[in-house]
């Protein structure tokens, strides 16, 4: 039998049809032309998602209602799995092209996206295959803009949650030539490997270059002499990394290491410790009296600039915020203590 559909489906309609996706809210215009024999359904489908709101369909793929985004693909539903071919998702800087296969429960069985662009200028591809209960994802690319991805990972969701999403077990391997961040900073030659089971991050390995000659490294290991597992990240250019993350933009140089509870796929707070050494703060009025003032190339003192030997603090990360406590900064002639909160949602320190 021939099937034709030309309709606009809201949240309630999609839920009744069993095609509700928790990351998407609002109306979706649907055009479908296909055939079915009650055993197999083939269809050409076009979706206009312009009026819908998308919140992290994948990390970094977020848009407000009214921003253009359209999808088109051919589907083949034979009962056990659904095959989607000739897929294009295009609009508002996003361009994804390829194919995927879904189980009848909606889990990804495999995916192949030769073009995987979440932001203008991205040049990357993605492949995924299921091995047992684990989805193995491989991302390779010349350039990826990480700003939207980071915002989705550290920010707090706006609006009410629709329903709890199933958290899949995944292994991710990514090799990116240049990952662009905030304030013009770039992580180069990024090599990332991680494994997550449910909400628990089981494995993590990261290497990259930052700033002019700085390095970044990360791994999961025991916290001190305890069996407690922790995420450990270190860099030889703390200023570049903090600017990349848009955490603090006035630090130059410095070595830094951070130990923190591994992130989970829920809202569990993460406790951590940060330690910095041998760094310069520039453009922060009032710091001159706390430390030896830095001098420019002519030997003149730079106002609002100070050299520090060491800083450390304990912190707790919750969704969208970092609370800092027991902070201390030492310079050659003086020290200062610090406490406070970094609110990423309100963009306030």
pLDDT in tens, 58-79: 777 889 999 999 999 999 998 8
Residue corresponding to tokens 């830094």:
256
The mean pLDDT of 239-254, rounded to a whole number, is 92
- Closest of 208, 210, 221, 205 to residue 261, by C-alpha: 221
Spatial separation of the C-alpha atoms in residues 289 and 268, rounded to whole Å: 40
Tokens of 87: 């897929």
Residue 147: its H or E element:
helix 147-154
Residue 150 has pLDDT above 80, yes or no: no
Cα separation, 103 vs 25, in Å, equals 23
Tokens of 6: 């030309």
Is the pLDDT at 202 greater than 80? The verdict is yes
Q: What is the reported pLDDT for 162?
A: 47
Q: Place 161 in a pLDDT band, splitting at 50, 70 and 90.
A: very low
SS3 183: coil
Note the pTM of the prediction, 2 decimals: 0.83
Query: Are the CB atoms for 155 and 345 separated by under 8 Å?
Result: yes
DSSP string, 90-122: EETTEEEEEEEEEETTS-EEEEEEEEEESSTT-
pLDDT of residue 152: 67
pLDDT at 23: 81
| pLDDT score at 226 | 84
Rounded Cα distance between 36 and 77, Å, is: 9
Q: Are 324 and 339 in contact (CB under 8 A)?
A: yes
Distances (CA, A) of 43 to 34, 48, 65, 81, 83: 4, 16, 27, 14, 11
326 in Cβ contact with 314 (< 8 Å)? yes
């Amino acid at each position: 039998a021939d099937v034709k559909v030309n309709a606009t489906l809201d949240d309630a309609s999609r839920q009744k049809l069993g095609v509700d996706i928790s990351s998407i809210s609002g109306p979706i215009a649907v055009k479908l032309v296909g055939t079915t024999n009650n055993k197999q359904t083939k269809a050409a489908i076009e979706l206009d998602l312009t009026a819908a709101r998308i919140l992290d369909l994948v990390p970094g793929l977020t848009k407000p209602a009214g921003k253009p985004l359209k999808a088109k693909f051919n589907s083949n539903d034979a009962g056990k799995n659904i095959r989607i071919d000739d897929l294009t998702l295009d609009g508002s800087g996003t361009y994804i092209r390829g194919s995927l296969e879904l189980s009848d429960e909606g889990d990804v069985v495999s995916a192949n996206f030769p073009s995987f662009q979440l932001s203008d200028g991205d040049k990357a591809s993605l492949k995924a295959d299921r091995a047992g209960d684990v989805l193995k994802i491989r991302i390779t690319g010349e350039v990826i803009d990480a700003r939207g991805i980071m915002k989705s990972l550290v920010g707090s969701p706006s609006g009410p949650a629709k329903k709890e999403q199933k958290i899949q077990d995944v292994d991710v391997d990514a090799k990116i030539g240049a990952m662009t961040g905030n304030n013009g900073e770039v992580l180069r030659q990024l090599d990332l490997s991680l494994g997550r089971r449910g909400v628990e991050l089981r494995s993590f390995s990261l290497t990259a270059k930052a700033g002019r000659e700085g390095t970044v490294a990360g791994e999961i290991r025991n916290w001190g002499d305890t069996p407690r597992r922790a995420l450990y990240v270190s860099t030889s250019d703390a200023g570049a990394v903090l600017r990349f993350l848009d955490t603090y933009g006035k630090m130059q140089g410095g070595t830094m290491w951070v130990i923190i509870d591994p992130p989970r796929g829920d809202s569990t707070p993460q406790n951590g410790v940060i330690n910095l050494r041998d760094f310069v703060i520039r453009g922060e009025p009032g710091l001159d009296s706390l430390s030896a003032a830095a001098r420019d190339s002519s030997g003149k003192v730079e106002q609002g600039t100070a050299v520090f030997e060491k800083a450390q603090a304990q912190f707790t990360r919750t969704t969208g915020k970092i609370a800092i406590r027991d902070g201390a900064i030492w310079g050659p002639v003086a020290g200062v203590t610090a406490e406070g909160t970094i609110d990423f949602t309100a963009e306030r320190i």
